[in-house]
Structure 1
Amino acid sequence: MSVIRRTLVSPTIRPLAHRERIEWHDHAVHQLAYPLRGVLEVSTSHGAWVVPPNRAVWIPAGVAHSHRAHGPTELRSLIFDVPVNPLAASSPTVLAVSPLLREVIRALSGGGALTEEHRYHLSRVVLCELRAVEALPLCLPAPSDPRLVALCDALALDPADSRTLRELGRQVGAAERTLSRLFREQTGITFPQWRGQLRLHHALKLLATGLPVTRVAADCGYRSPSAFIEAFRASYGTTPGRYLAS
Structure 2
Amino acid sequence: MKAEVNHCYNSSNNEVINMNVYDNITQTAKLISDATRMSMLMELSGMHSLTAKELAKSAKVSPQTASSHLKKLIEGNLIISRKQGRHKYYQLASENVAQAIESIANISGPLVANSLNSTSKKKKLEFARTCYGHLAGELGVAITEGLIKKGYLLESDSTYYKLTKYGKIWFENLGINISNLNIQTDYLALHIDWTMRKNHLAGPLSLALTKHFLNSGWIKEGNMKREIILTRCGEAFLYKELGINL
- With the length of structure 1 as denominator, give the TM-score of the two structures: 0.25
Structure having the higher strand fraction is 1
Structure having the higher helix fraction is 2
Q: Which has the higher contact order (CA 8 A, sep 6+)?
A: 1
Report the structure number with the largest CA radius of gyration. Answer: 2
